Chains A and B, each alone.
Chain A
Amino acid sequence: MTIYVIVLVVYLGALAAIGIAFSGRSKSAGDFAIGGRSVGPWVTALSFVAAYYSSVVIIGGGGFGWKYGLATLWIGAGNVLIGTTLAWIILGRRIRRFTANLDAVTLPSFFAGRYGSPAARIFSAAVTGLFLIIYNVSVLKGMANSFEVLMDLPYWVGVLISGLVILFYTAVGGYLAVVWTSMVQGVVMIVALALLAFMALRQVGGLAAAAGRLADIDPGLVATPGVWGWAGLISYTLIVSLGTWGMPQLIIRFYSIKNDRMLRLGTVVVTVGASIALLPYLCGAISRVFVPELASADQAIPSLTRIVLNDWGGALFLAGVVAAGMSTFAGVLIIISSSLVRDVWVHGLGRALSPAAELRANRSMSLAVGLISLAIALKPPALILVLTAFSWAVIASTNLWPLLFGVYWRRTSPRATLASMITGVAAALLWQAWPRLPLPPLPPALAGIHGFVVGTTLGLVVIVAGTLLGRPAPQRLLDATWHGKTSAASE
C-alpha cells in the first residue's frame, strides 16, 4: 500500500506541476482550446495515443478479452489501422490546413465555417458535449475500478482522487497542459501495458501455452469470431476504430500540429505507439486462464495485475491506468468546454465575450462539466466499454460524415450535412433503445448490430443523397476553406 501511495503521489504531483507550469501560457480561448497551433510531432502523436486509449480501452478492452477471448485482438488491430494510421493519413493534413484557413478551434466551428450552417454548429456542439460527458463517466469508472481492486480503496475515493487532479490541471493549464501531461501519460501507459503483457506471458508460459489453456476452457476463446460472433466483433471494431474519425478530442490533435513535415513524422510515431492497442485484449484473454470466474469482466485486468506483478509493478500499472484515464478525461473536458462556450454560448446564443472573459468561461465550464461527470460516475451504470460504445456511436454518427465529406467533397450540401447529423443520431439512439421500447423484438441476426453501424450507415445515405439532390455551400466558403481566401467568419 505504501509503495502505491508513493508512486501515485509523485506521479500526480508531477502532473499538477505541469498544469501550473502552463497556467500562464493560455492567454486566449484559442490557446486554451488548441494551444495556438504550435505543437510538435512527438507530443501530438503520444498525446493522440493517450487520448485515444483511455482507461476504457485498458480496463474495458481487457474485460472484453476476458469475456470473448483472443478474437478481440482484431479490435486492437482495427484501432491501429483504421483509428490511427488511416485517420492521420486521410484526415490529418486537410484538417490541419482547413481549420487554419478558417481559424476554427473546435469541430463545430469548422462545420460553421465550411458549410455556413449555424444549426450544424449548434447541433454538433450540443450532441458532442452531452454524450462526451457519458464517455467521461466511463473513463472515471475505469480509473476508480483500478483503485478499488489494486489499493482496496472504496470506489468513490478512486473517482474523487482521479477527477479532482484532472480538473485542477485542465482548468489551470488548458490545452497545452493537457497535451504535455498526455505525452507523459502516454509514455507511462505504454511502459505499464508492456510490463503487464510481458509478465503475464511469462507466467502463463508464452502465447502458445495461453492459447492452449484458453482452448481447454472453450475453443471459441481462441478462434475468430469465436464466442462473440461476427456482428458483435465487427460492430465494436468499427465503433472504436472508425468512430475516432468523428471524435473531437482526437481530431483536435490535427488542428494543433505545426506543419506537414511534423504530420509525416507524427504518423509513424503514432502508429508505433498505437500498437499497444492489442495488449489490453491480449492481457484480458490471458487473465481468463488465471481467473476463470469474476463478478464483473471489468475486474479482469486489475486482477491479473495483482497476480503477475509485484507491488512496484502494480503501482506502475495503476499509474498507467490513471494516466490513460486522465489524459482522455482532460482532453474531453477541453473539447466540451470550448464547444459549449464558443459554439453554443457565444455563437448559438449570440452572447459576445471578450477574449479574457471567454478564457475565464472556458475554465469555469471545464470545472462545471468535470464536476457533473464526477457526480454521475459515483453511481455509473453498465460495463464501461458498453457505455463508451454508446456515447461514441452517437457522437460519431453526428460528426463522421460531415467532417470526412467536408474536407474531400467540395459539393457536400450544408442542408444534407445537417440532415445526416440528425438522422445519424436519431437512428443510433433508436436502435440502442429498441429492446426497451414497446416494439417487436429485432431478428437475432440484426440484434447483435450496434447502433453505431445503423446511425453511420443511414447518415451516409442521407448526406450522399442529399448532396446529389441539393446545392453546395456558397463558393466564398469553399474558397475560404480550401485556400483561406476570404474571411469565413467561422469564429
Chain B
Amino acid sequence: MAPWNLPWSTFGAFIVLAVTIVLAVGWALWDRRRDHREQP
C-alpha cells in the first residue's frame, strides 16, 4: 500500500502532480538559460 492507505494505482496521481511542478520549474530555468545563451 502507498501512503494514506491508497493503492499505488491511485496514489500515482499525486506523484504525477509533483513531477509536473518539477517539470514546470525545470523548464523555466532551462529556457531562461537558453535565452541568455542565444542573446549576445
A residues bordering B, Cβ < 8 Å?
70-71, 73-74, 76-77, 80-81, 85, 88-89, 206-208, 211-212, 215, 222-224, 226, 260-261, 264-265, 267-268, 270-272, 275, 278
Cα of A271 to Cα of B20 in the assembled complex, Å = 8
> Which residues of the partner chain A approach B12 to less than 8 Å between Cβ atoms?
74, 77, 224
Interface residues of B in 14-40 (CB under 8 A from A): 14, 16-17, 19-21, 23-25, 27-28, 31-32, 35
The reply to whether B17 and A267 form a contact with Cβ atoms under 8 Å apart is no
Q: How far is the CA of A81 from the CA of B14 in the complex (A)?
A: 11
Contact A275 B7 (CB under 8 A): no
Residue of A nearest to B17 (CB): A77
Q: Does B23 lie within 8 Å of A224, measured CB to CB?
A: no
Complex Cα distance, B13 from A76, in Å, reads 8
A211-B4 in contact (CB<8A): yes
Q: State how many angstroms separate the Cβ of A349 from the closest Cβ of chain B.
A: 42
Most chain A C-beta atoms within 10 Å of own C-beta, residue among B12, B19, B20, B32: B20
Cβ contact within 8 Å between A70 and B5: no
Whether the pair A268, B28 counts as a contact (CB closer than 8 A) is yes
Known: A80-B17, A264-B31, A271-B21. A212 touches B9 (CB 8 A): no
Residue contact B20 to A85, C-beta cutoff 8 Å: yes
Residue pair B27, A81 in contact (C-beta under 8 Å): no
* In the bound complex, CA of A71 to CA of B23 (Å): 23
Q: Contact check: which of B7, B14, B27 meets A222 at CB < 8 Å? A: B7
CB contacts (< 8 Å) of B20 on chain A: these are: 77, 80-81, 85, 271
CB pair A211–B28 under 8 Å, yes or no, is: no
Q: Are B4 and A272 in contact (CB under 8 A)?
A: no
Determine whether the beta carbon of B10 is less than 8 Å from that of A223.
yes
Contact of B13 among A74, A211, A215, A222 (CB under 8 A): A74
- Measured CB to CB, the nearest residue on chain A to B9 is A224
In contact, B5 and A77 (Cβ under 8 angstroms): no
8 A-B pairs closest in CB distance: A271-B24, A73-B13, A224-B9, A77-B13, A207-B4, A77-B16, A208-B5, A264-B28
| Minimum C-beta distance from A300 to chain B (A) | 19
The residue among A71, A270, A271 with the most chain B CB atoms within 10 A of its own CB is A271
Q: For B19, what are the chain A residues with a Cβ–Cβ distance below 8 Å?
A: 81
Return the contact of B32 from the options A73, A222, A264 (Cβ within 8 A). A264
A70 touches B6 (CB 8 A): yes
Complex formed: what's the CA distance from A338 to B31 in Å? Answer: 33
Chain A residues whose C-beta falls within 8 Å of the C-beta of B28 in the assembled complex: 264-265, 267-268
A275 touches B10 (CB 8 A): no
- CB B7 to nearest CB in A, in angstroms, measures 5
Q: Which residues of B contact A89 (CB under 8 A)?
A: 24, 27
Q: Contacts A223-B10, A224-B10; is A275 near B31 (CB within 8 Å)?
A: no
A211 and B16 alpha carbons, distance in the complex (Å)? 19
What separation, in Å, do the CA atoms of A92 and B14 have in the docked complex?
25
Chain A residue numbers with a CB within 8 Å of B31 are 260, 264
A270 to B7, CA, bound (A): 29
Contacting residues, chain A, for B4 (C-beta < 8 A): 206-208, 211
Complex: how many Å from CA A81 to CA B31?
Answer: 18
